[in-house]
Structure 1
Amino acid sequence: MAIGAYCVATPTLFTLIQSVYVTLAANLSPAAPGLLVLRVALGASVLLVPTILMGITLPLIAQALNPFSDRLGKAIAWLYACNTGGAALGALVTSYLASFYCHG
């Protein structure tokens, strides 16, 4: 439920950080090195909460479904490894495909 609520709030949060960015960057040169740091910090501040919430979902479900089994750890670790590998592969493939279709 928290992820869903945050999803609904995200457009408002991005509007808010855009206003904060414009206010803080108004007197800086477009080439100022601090602007990148500011953009990353503001983006991370909005994305950190849902990232944590999504990251803890699987362990909490696994613990709730089987709270006393030590054997579940290896299965969950394997599932996490596959999930992480799939996410990394998906990010890599989509970036190459986007590059290919945008420049090709």
Structure 2
Amino acid sequence: MKKIIVLFTILFVAFHAFAQEKISGYVEDSLTHNRLTNVSVTLLRNGKPLKFTRSKGDGTFLIPIAQKQTGDMLQASYMGYKKQKTAVSSGKETIISMASTAFV
């Protein structure tokens, strides 16, 4: 009986892991095209924050979600740059290009 419970638990966890979709991409400077590190990337659904991550050392990010929906947006923010909203690309890597702000 214990083996059956363990087997069903493993199958459930594996099925649940494969059911998730992923939103991935990278963040870059709009002028130099250098990738930006530690950028806050937020998934917005209906204008409200749903999930959050930061870009890695190579500028890439990954947000696992249960299911993408039409109208999902990514918002990136980073000190010295303007906030950037980008539509989630279906089945493609999302590239977020950020413009720097002028300091006065």
Would you call these one fold, judging by a TM-score over 0.5? no
TM value normalised by structure 1: 0.30
TM value normalised by structure 2: 0.30
Higher helix proportion (structure 1 or 2): 1
Higher strand proportion (structure 1 or 2): 2
Q: Larger Cα Rg: Structure 1 or Structure 2? A: 1
